[in-house]
Amino acid sequence: MQAERQWFHETRAKAVIQALKGNRINGYFVQNRVNAVEQVLQLIPNQSLIAMGGSMTLFETGIYDAIKKGNYNLIDRFEKGISQDEALTRLKTGLTADIFLAGVNAVTEQGELVFVDASCTRVAPILFGPQKVILVSGCNKIVPNLAYAQERIRHFVAPANARRLGRKTPCAKTGKCEDCSSPDRICNATVVIHKQAFEQRLHLVLVGETLGL
């Protein structure tokens, strides 16, 4: 079963990487999370100023720990004990970092990247600012097209993340989207990157495992 799963992930990922190329987005397939750390570090020069978006994948793969231990300057918005004001200051500083690392919520077979965000602190630097953006995703996030991406986000990613983060939204209780107007709403913005203007800016590492939500 594991062999078939691996074959499925790899075959789909390779097709997506071809599509990404046509969109001026650089794609990489790696078998597992250990290889994902190696691939990401290869893309980052020593001493780079690095910022990160909220992403379970960056923690699950060990990328966050590797960056912390490495020869880099991390603007660490996840540091324990910092105030909300300090976290906000770090988020703003991250808008002009050399490198921005984040996850993605869905990747279409046409090579489009789809994100949902509550406050846009993740999507803002992905769209503009940092010189290089490196995204990491499990192959479980590959979907046939944008309609599937929207379904995935509204009916799985947003409710599960709302629950994880303790948001007071209907979906965090029922597991279903009710298109709420809650101040805690987690899906205030949905962003699709169809293509990239600058060829060497956007990189997506696809990992042959189930990662994140």
User: What is the contact surface with ligand SF4 in residues (CB under 6 A)?
Assistant: 154, 158-159, 162, 169-171, 177-180, 182, 185-187
CB of 148 to ligand SF4, least distance (A): 16
Cβ–Cβ under 8 Å, residues 146 and 105: no
Residue 31, φ and ψ in degrees, nearest 5:
-70, -40
CB of 56 to ligand SF4, least distance (A): 17
Token duo for residue 129: 């600012």
- CB-based contacts of 57: which residues, under 8 Å, 6+ apart? 63, 103, 136, 137, 138, 207, 211, 212
Output 75 or 171, the one with its CB closest to ligand SF4. Answer: 171
Residue 107, φ and ψ in degrees, nearest 5:
-125, 125
Output 90 or 167, the one with its CB closest to ligand SF4. Answer: 167
Number of Cβ within 10 Å of residue 120's Cβ equals 14
Rounded Cα distance between 119 and 114, Å, is 16
CB of 120 to ligand SF4, least distance (A): 15
Output 79 or 178, the one with its CB closest to ligand SF4. Answer: 178
CB of 185 to ligand SF4, least distance (A): 4
CB of 157 to ligand SF4, least distance (A): 8
Token duo for residue 51: 């910022």
Output 65 or 178, the one with its CB closest to ligand SF4. Answer: 178
Output 94 or 170, the one with its CB closest to ligand SF4. Answer: 170
CB of 176 to ligand SF4, least distance (A): 7
String of DSSP letters for 74-115: E--TT-TT--HHHHHHHHHHHTT-SEEEE--SEEETTS-EEE
Output 66 or 146, the one with its CB closest to ligand SF4. Answer: 146
